[in-house]
Amino acid sequence: MKESVLFERVILGSTEEAKDIILQLVNLSAYFCESRIVKNINLAIEKNKVTSIMGPSGCGKTTLIRCINRMHEMSPGGTTKGEILLYGKDINNMNAIEVRKKIGMVFQRPNPFPTMTIYENVIAGFILNGIRLPKNIMDEIVEDSLSKAALWDEVKHNLGKRGIYLSGGQQQRLCIARALAMKPDVLLLDEPTSALDPKATAKIEELIVQLKESVTILIVTHNIAQAARVSDNTAFLYLGELVEYEPTKKLFTIPRDKRTEEYLTGKYG
């Protein structure tokens, strides 16, 4: 079911005007064995917007987004409580592989498959799931995904070259293309530029803003300036709790919570 569902926006228990919500976390907690890392989070993610998750190292950002595509449960001792609703349906009641097609993920370090060509990397999701499509359809998916990832012009004459021979920034855009090839509804980005130089970072940031027209983006970032540049809404996480969640401009100019203000002024590094 692709039509969007309107929910009341849930922000720290208060309600605002109804928005077009694609993903809703309801009382979400995540554990490693007995220890609760993510604590009772309620968060509604707006469709076709960029949402940043910001917070100090170790506060649970990666753990939180790994819950959203069912990867957390693959870690030893990793369990969750609460609900994660995609278009109103709990992803924990869906097939995990289907969830990962709808909710793609890109990691901190570019990780193209080392033995695969650029072309194969883009369609890796199909190859690894044993999905065979006619060559012309695959060609279209490759061109479309690489174009959306702003990489097509740079690689179109070298599709048979291995993905790992590209620059770091190009590799990260290849990983974004690989995620986009599955036509996800949501793209999770975990500090996607922290291994890149400023020029490659700028290119990815520009891409993120373009991509939100076709996919909802959730980005974890340490970089406060990056959150300010690319995101519509920002959530601030501290010690596993959601402290504040607001439109980015509002959170950056008039933070409600002292901890947010201290983070923004560099107190937690």
Ligand X SMILES: Nc1ncnc2c1ncn2[C@@H]1O[C@H](COP(=O)(O)OP(=O)(O)OP(=O)(O)O)[C@@H](O)[C@H]1O
Interface residues with Mg ion (CB under 5 A)?
A: 62
Q: Which is nearer to ligand X, 55 or 192 (CB)?
A: 55
Give the residue with the Cβ less far from ligand X, 62 or 248: 62
The partner in contact with residue 57, picked from Mg ion, ligand X, none with C-beta cut-offs of 5 to 8 angstroms by kind, is ligand X
For residues 70-89, which are near ligand X according to CB under 6 A?
Answer: 75
Q: Binding partner of residue 23 among Mg ion, ligand X, none, CB under 5 to 8 Å per kind?
A: none
**Residue found under tokens 């883009």:** 122
Phi-psi category of residue 8: left, alpha or beta, with phi > 0 → left and psi -120 to 50 → alpha: beta
CB atoms under 10 Å from CB of 134, counted, come to 8
Q: Residues 32, 87, 152, 252: which binds ligand X (CB under 6 A)?
A: 32
- Of the two residues 62 and 260, which places its CB atom closer to Mg ion in the complex? 62
The smaller minimum CB distance to Mg ion, of residues 61 and 203, is found at: 61
125: left (phi over 0), alpha (psi -120 to 50) or beta: alpha
Residue pair 195/166 in contact (Cβ under 8 Å)? The answer is no
Instruction: By CB under 6 A, tell whether 61 contacts ligand X.
Output: yes
Give the integer Cα–Cα distance in Å for 120 and 146. Answer: 12
Angle at 248 between CA 148 and CA 66, to 5 degrees: 60
Decide which of Mg ion, ligand X, none touches 255; Cβ closer than 5 to 8 Å per partner kind.
none
Q: Which residues bind ligand X (CB under 6 A)?
A: 32, 37, 55, 57-63, 75, 222
